[in-house]
Amino acid sequence: MRRPVRSSLQIASRALALGLVAVLAALVLAACSAGSGPDRMTIAVIPKGTSHVFWQSIHAGALQAGSELGVEIGYRGPLREDDRDSQIAEVEKAGRRGISGTVFARSKCGAVER
């Protein structure tokens, strides 16, 4: 059975919605675990890759949500979706930067379990 073909607008709209939901979920989790922290919340968004239009629309959605909510968004990830070593490095760097929360799409099941 063939899957229906989706237009670029449908894909971008869905990606934007998913990005907003991911950022909002991170904000809720960060707010629940926040003690005394910086005045402005910072969320690291780490995608599988940064070059595909899907991840670029996630980036746009995260920045828009951050702007609307007064949250700083750090968006860093590997260029290619199959570069899990770069993604792991980004997750580790985000942890060292003292961010309020992290949203990431892992590149491979079990790849970031350290």
**More confident: 89 or 28:** 89
25-33 contacts at long range (C-beta below 8 A, 24 or more positions apart)? 25/103, 26/101, 26/102, 26/103, 27/69, 27/71, 27/101, 29/101, 30/100, 30/101, 33/101
Which range of 28-37, 55-64, 99-108 scores highest in mean pLDDT? It is 55-64
Domain boundaries 8-32+39-104, corresponding CATH code: 3.40.50.2300
Question: Please, are residues 40 and 10 in contact by the beta-carbon 8 Å criterion?
Answer: no
Assess whether pLDDT exceeds 90 at residue 73: yes
Q: Please give the structure tokens belonging to residue 105.
A: 């799409």
At residue 12, does pLDDT exceed 80?
A: no
Delimit the domains of the chain by residue range. Answer: 8-32+39-104
State pLDDT tens for residues 13-39. Answer: 676 666 666 666 666 665 555 544 556
